[in-house]
Each structure stands twice: as C-alpha cells, then as structure tokens.
Chain A
Amino acid sequence: MGILDKLNAVADARKTLFPPGVDPLNVVIDEIYSATEASIGGHRVLLAGTNNYLGLTFDQHCIGAAQSSLEKEGTGTTGSRMANGTFAGHRDLEKDLANFYGCSNAIVFSTGFVANLGVISTLAGPGDVIVLDADSHASIYDACKMSGAEMIRFRHNNIEDLEKKLKRLGPKTEKTLIIVEGIYSMLGDCAPLAEIAALKKKYGAWLLVDEAHSLGVMGDHGRGMAEAAGVEKDVDFIVGTFSKSLGAIGGYCVSNHPELDLVRYICRSYVFTASPSPSTIASVREALKAIQSKPELRTRLWDNAALLFHGLKELGFELGPDLSPIIAIRAPSREKTLFAWKALLDKGIYVNLVFPPAAPAGMSLLRCSISAAHTSEQISFLLQAFAEIKALMDKQE
C-alpha cells in the first residue's frame, strides 16, 4: 500500500456525494463586489455564508489603514516574531485587545486555528485534564490531542454531564481546563456560559472560551458571550479570531493571568510561523475600533438575524435551537441538502453546505450566516428563494 492509497476513499466519497462538475466544498468566487455580493460561475450572487457578521471587509477605514500600512511597511513580515522581530503594529494590537477586554495580557496569532492550537496545547500538558464540549471546533480537538493532556468530552451544552465529569475527577479539577465556545459555528447555538462558569468555580477548574463567532456579536460592548453572560471575571482565557467580525485574518488570546505572556516563548504555533502581515494588523485595529464605536452594527446584525430566523421558521424549516447570526437549516438527507444548496446557487444565493463530520450528530445542514451589511431587500430575496426551495424539496417527498 502506498501513502496515497488512503486518499482513494476521499475520491470515492467526492464522487458519491457530488455530481460531476459540482463541488460545493471548493466554490470559486470569481469576483467579490461587497460584503454581501460576489460573482460565482459568471453569475451575481448574494453571499449568505461568509461569517462577515459586521460587514467590515469593505469598511473604508479598515481598507484605508491597510493601504497605508502596505505603503509604509510592505506586504509581509517574512518570518516569526521570535526570529524576525515584532512589528509595532503587533504590539499595539495586543495592547488594543487587552484594553478592549480589560485584561492585562494579550497575544496575537497568525490565524484563529493556530491561536487555539498554540494556546491550548501550551497551557495543558501531560498530567493535566481537558474537559471539552463535544461540538468543539476541529482546532480545539487537534489542540487537545497535541497537548498530551487527558481529554474528556461532555455532551454538547449539557451542564449535568459537565458536572458529572468534573465531580468524577475529584482533586484533579485543579489541573483541569474546561473548553467551550461562545456561539457554536455550525448550529449557531449559544453556550450556557453562566452555568459553566459557576461549575468552573465550584470545582476549582480553569475555563477557556473560544469567542470566534461571538466577538462583535454578543455583549453590550461586543466582547462576546462572556460579557453577555456577565462572567468575564470567571473566564481564565478568551481565544478568538480576526477572520469573522473583524473582517481579516488572525487570532488572539487574552487573559488576566500574567503567565499568558510566557506562552509566546514556548508556543510552537507562535514561535515557528510567520506573524500576521502589517496591513492585516492595521485593518484589524480599525475593525476593533468599529466594534466599539459603532454599536449600531450589532443592532442591525441582530435585526437581520431575527428577520431571517423567524422568516425561515414560518416557512417550516427546522433550525438550530437559538436565534443567532448563524442560522442552520437541517435537511432530511444529504441528497436533499445538496439539491437545495445547488438550487439556491442557481437562484443567486450562496450558503454553506455542511455534511458530517463538520456538522454535529450526523446532520446535513444548509448553513447561513447573516451580516449587518445585508439589506432588508436582500433578506426578503433570501426568504423568497428559500420558500421556492422548500416547495421543491416538499415535492420530492
């Protein structure tokens, strides 16, 4: 057997799942026009699956800051901060993040994925325990494996199961890191963070919250689920990404534990990877200002999310349990999900097609993510298209 033989299974799965010429997992966007519109396959398409929650990818201040940085600082850093040095922008963004969260320490990473990978695998090690939500992101699972810690899973958002598992650990809870997400990326459901934080305190464990999908979305100041749940002081580490609400790419961790600053010396995904380009850092700094100075973006985002969520419910779609900017439609089969996804694209709408294992519990999903940049006309267009798709899907039964 050669090393490539295992990929035959991937080729077979692709052939079985997708008809010739259709590859929903490899869509090419020929041209991007705005935060909500692009060209795919030669057609103008409404984007409803981008995670661009605040629509800041085309914000003129962010673009201006990035352009200015490009002119002054060049296109890239060409190496890691440990080897090539920290640019002033990296340091300033870390200060901005620490100030934003009211924390003493922050570290910036090159992506959200490597932020999780680096922080978790550095904080926890052999002899420690990680208790993670079952629906955690792949980066969290990979980080836990890398850490060498004992890895325990609790049922998704199930407080009773979490408590049962903490109780069984006994005195080991003082070396236990609980990991949850603010909003879960596939179904858009929210963590019961107040209860989780209470358990963390009761059992003397540590708590890390991934706010990738909740930064800029939750909380009066947009700081995320920990702010919304009123438990920021009980969360030991917050990890997040620049690639969603902040409209760029990169990741971060903030904490009031001063030891976080030591993580950067031994964290492999920080030490051995190129640091974010200065133009990216410049646009993120502007986007972070926008989160703070433009609360109306959050209001618009939630209004749009409510409009789509309730509209789809009225049409009879089965949705995730919570209203959030991630609105996932559960379809009865992979075939029907693919059919609906393709029909939507033909109507000029791009959403995400999600199959297991990316979707939890064997579900097939049409995943929408809504933006503050969507207009009410665009949401009406989405609902109209979904109504027509629903009729076609029902006809197939």
Chain B
Amino acid sequence: MTPPRYDDIYKQVVELLQEYAPQPGPISEETELVNDLGFDSLKVMEMLNDVEDAFDITYPLNSLSDLKTVKDFTTQILNIIETS
C-alpha cells in the first residue's frame, strides 16, 4: 500500500521536475529523469537545492546512483523524511 504522504510528495516532485526539466513533457511515476526529461548531472544538482528546501531535508549525493524514475525520486524523499 502506498504510504500516506507519498501522493503529496509526488505532486511536489512533479512540479519541481516540470520547472527544471531540460526536455519538458508528460510526467508519470515511470518517467525517467535522464532519458525522458533530459536531466544531466548539473541540472540535477541545481534542482536538488530546491528539493532540499521544499521538503526541509538533506539529500545525500550517494542516493543519485539509485535514482532513475520519478517514483524512485519520490520514494527516496519519503524515506529521508521518515528517517530524519
């Protein structure tokens, strides 16, 4: 079952991705940041500042290696919120 706050986080993540995506397009949970939205490492770093501010979290750079889809990103943020 989807955790209760997942949907709220997902909604905010989509808004941030739409703002920063080099190749804007429709976004779903399975959308890939690099292949579908055209993110490169610099653009991801730029967005991470806003992600950290929006959720008041610290996003460890180690997590980037496991980040592929919007669902991954949302789940990572949820986990960080829950464990902090």
Contacts and interface: CB of A to CB of B under 8 A. Distances in A.
Query: A and B, one complex?
Result: yes
B61 A357 contact: no
A152 B49 CA distance: 12
B60 A357 contact: no
Interface size on B, as a range, is 10 to 19
Nearest to B80: A168
A159 to B, nearest CB: 15
Contact of A151 (B41, B48, B61, B84): B61
Interface residues of A, number: 15
B interface secondary structure, majority: helix
B61 A134 contact: no
Interface string B48-70: 11000000011011100000000
Contacts of A152: 58, 60-61
A168 B49 contact: no
Contacts, number: 26
Nearest to B62: A151
Contacts of B61: 144, 151-153
Interface in A347-367: 356-357, 361-362
Interface in A333-356: 356
A164 B57 CA distance: 9
Contact of B60 (A134, A150, A356, A362): A150
13 contacts: A134-B45, A150-B60, A151-B60, A151-B62, A153-B61, A164-B58, A165-B58, A168-B84, A356-B42, A357-B41, A357-B42, A361-B46, A362-B42
Given A152-B58, A152-B60, A155-B49, 15 more contacts: A144-B61, A150-B62, A151-B60, A151-B61, A151-B62, A152-B61, A153-B45, A153-B61, A164-B58, A165-B58, A168-B57, A168-B84, A169-B58, A357-B42, A362-B42
